[in-house]
């Protein structure tokens, strides 16, 4: 999924440093700002924010209403004393009266509640209750005053000026768009600190994976940290930028690698349910396809960390040149890049396993976990180091054990492996348990007894007769 990063990121910077009037002037120049099919985004010219998920019909349906009937009620005949209602029409409902010694049609005398239209009578009803019938039109309807969207039927407490400030408008730059979303202030500040404003401005289209302010906070990135160099910050930010425009509709189920603006490979995965995740952190796209004039933004919930550069002359005890050792088993990476090949090997104690791959499209490594397909790493366990596209790593196993390991960047995709050394570390049965086993009668013991009895009978039957 690619997003135009320059314009969207620039939008953030501009929105933070430019007055609201400048943004209004940009929208009021030569391009129509509302009621046009050329628009792509819902903008509020009062709050200068974007409703990134609103369609044109929704955007143009905000209105401030007073005493507006939100939902229709029903016409009922209601008794305000007994609190009962019926479906009688207005004429019938208004014809109840309390009578005394009233001459009925059959000539009888009646005292009680009487309806002169349908001639219904109730001698037990009090005068107060009888005279409490009233006809209500549209009873139970909801009357509302406030901001109302005629398309979605949603309400909010916005002021009238804010409510009526929505317009379907042309896209603005990536930076201004990001700023207007109100959730990327840290990203805007980071772009300024990394001197990337000019780099991310212009007509070139980009796709930007934009972490929210909460994502930056969770990652612990402090722009005031003196140890955070401009180059390091720039590398992090450019890892979120992909040249070109990739919309969510351009993606298919599965995993795809794209090249970020910092030169590193970036994993994009689409699940069967349609969820989109990015990077080895599996950051989730929470809002997709936010349009900008020079690209598109996808909002993500985590900050992506670029893969570390690995020095080829690693001097750790377990990383060596495979040409200097004898590899009793060699493990590589499958063609798809998401499995070890083979994923399980068996060796003898004292033998060496080598993990080796060269110029892979993605970074991989070997790191010990505490069990089969476990996601818990063993502290101080065996590892090849940081993930890399090229790895030459070996380890000699000196005791019976089963070594479980995983690839850190792809552990969520279940890239696991296993090395069985000797008997796999199965503890032998001790002498006491063996003695107990021998003392326990079993099938073999019964068989031996029967065999002994059979041999004795055979001997006796075949013994020479006494002379």
The percent of residues in the chain predicted with pLDDT above 90, rounded, is 29
CA distance 378 to 355: 19
Question: How far apart, in whole angstroms, are the C-alpha atoms of residue 72 and residue 311?
Answer: 72
368-416 pLDDT, tens digit per residue, is 999 999 999 998 899 998 888 899 999 999 999 999 999 998 888 889 9
pLDDT at 53: 60
The one-character DSSP state at 218 is H
Q: Is the peptide bond before 263 cis (omega within 30 degrees of 0)?
A: no
Residue 425: Cβ within 10 Å count: 12
Strand order in the sheet with 121-122: 96-103, 109-115, 121-122
Per-residue pLDDT for 254 more than 90? no
According to CATH, the superfamily of the domain at 322-421 is Cupredoxins -  blue copper proteins (2.60.40.420)
Q: What is the mean pLDDT of residues 20-42?
A: 42
Q: How far is CA 405 from CA 153, 369, 381, 418, in A?
A: 54, 5, 10, 6
Report whether 175 contacts 8 (CB < 8 A): yes
**Contact status, residue 76 vs residue 139, Cβ threshold 8 Å:** yes
CB-based contacts of 78, cutoff 8 Å, min separation 6: 84, 85, 133, 134, 135, 136, 139
CATH classification for the domain delimited by 5-31+170-300, as one of 3.40.50.2300, 3.40.50.1220, 2.30.180.10, 2.40.110.10:
2.30.180.10
Mean pLDDT for 96-107 is 91
Q: What is the pLDDT of residue 97?
A: 94
C-alpha atoms less than 13 angstroms from C-alpha of 227 in its C-beta half-sphere: 2
110 has pLDDT over 90: yes
Indicate the domain borders of the chain: 5-31+170-300, 74-139, 322-421, 431-461
**Exposure class string for 109-147: b at 16+ Cβ within 10 A, else e:** eeebbbbeeeeebeeebeeebbbbbebbeeeeeeeeeeb
Does 3 score more than 60 pLDDT?
A: no
Distance CA 329, CA 248 (A): 43
Give the separation between CA 403 and CA 384, rounded to whole angstroms: 14
- Note the pTM of the prediction, 2 decimals: 0.47
* Three-state secondary structure call for residue 60: coil
Look-up of token digits 């993605």: 362
CB 405 within 8 A of CB 366: yes
Residues facing 133 on adjacent strands: 79
pLDDT of residue 111: 95
Q: What is the mean pLDDT of residues 346-354?
A: 93
Q: CB under 8 Å to 299, separation ≥6 — which residues?
A: 181, 183, 210, 212, 285, 286, 287, 288, 290
Contact yes or no for 255/269 (Cβ under 8 A) = yes
175-216, pLDDT tens digit by residue?
A: 666 666 666 778 878 888 887 767 666 778 889 998 988 999
State residue 325's pLDDT score: 78
3-state helix, strand, coil in the chain (%, to 5): 25, 30, 45
């Amino acid at each position: 999924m690619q997003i135009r990063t320059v314009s969207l990121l620039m939008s953030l910077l501009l929105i933070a440093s430019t007055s609201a009037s400048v943004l209004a002037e940009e929208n009021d120049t030569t391009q129509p700002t509302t009621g046009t099919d050329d628009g792509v985004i819902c903008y509020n010219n009062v709050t200068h924010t974007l409703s990134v998920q609103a369609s044109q019909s929704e955007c143009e349906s905000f209105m401030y209403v007073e005493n507006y009937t939100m939902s229709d009620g029903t016409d009922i005949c209601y008794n305000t004393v007994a609190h009962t209602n019926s479906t009688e029409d207005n004429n019938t409902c208004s014809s109840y009266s309390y009578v005394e010694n009233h001459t009925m049609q059959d000539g009888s005398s009646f005292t009680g509640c009487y309806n002169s239209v349908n001639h219904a009578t109730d001698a037990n009803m009090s005068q107060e209750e009888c005279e409490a019938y009233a006809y209500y039109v549209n009873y139970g309807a909801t009357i509302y005053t406030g901001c109302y969207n005629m398309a979605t039927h949603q309400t909010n407490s916005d002021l009238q000026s804010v409510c009526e400030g929505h317009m379907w408008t042309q896209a603005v730059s990536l930076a201004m768009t990001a700023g207007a979303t109100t959730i990327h202030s840290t990203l805007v500040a980071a772009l300024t600190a990394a001197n990337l404003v000019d780099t991310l401005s212009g007509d070139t289209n980009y796709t930007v994976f934009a972490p929210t302010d909460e994502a930056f906070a969770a990652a612990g990135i402090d722009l005031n940290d003196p140890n955070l160099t401009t180059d390091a910050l720039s590398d992090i930010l450019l890892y979120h930028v992909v040249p070109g425009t990739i919309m969510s509709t351009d993606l298919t189920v599965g995993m795809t690698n794209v090249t970020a603006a910092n030169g590193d490979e970036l994993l994009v995965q689409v699940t069967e349910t349609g969820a989109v995740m990015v990077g080895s952190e599996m950051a989730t796209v929470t809002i997709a396809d936010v349009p900008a004039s020079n690209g598109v933004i996808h909002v993500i919930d985590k900050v992506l960390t670029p893969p570390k550069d690995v020095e080829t002359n690693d001097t750790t005890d377990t990383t060596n040149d495979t040409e200097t050792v004898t590899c009793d088993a060699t493990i590589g990476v499958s063609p798809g890049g998401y499995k070890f090949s083979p994923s399980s090997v068996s060796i003898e104690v004292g033998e060496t396993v080598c993990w080796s791959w060269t110029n892979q499209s993605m970074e991989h490594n070997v790191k010990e976990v505490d069990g089969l397909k476990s996601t818990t790493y063993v502290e101080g366990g065996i590892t090849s180091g940081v993930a890399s596209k090229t790895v030459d790593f070996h380890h000699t196993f000196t005791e019976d054990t089963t070594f479980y390991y995983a690839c850190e960047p792809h552990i969520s995709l279940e890239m696991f492996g296993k090395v069985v050394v000797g008997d796999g570390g199965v503890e032998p049965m001790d002498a006491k348990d063996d003695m107990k086993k021998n003392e326990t009668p079993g099938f073999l013991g019964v068989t031996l007894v029967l065999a002994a009895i059979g041999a004795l009978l055979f001997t006796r039957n075949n013994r020479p007769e006494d002379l």
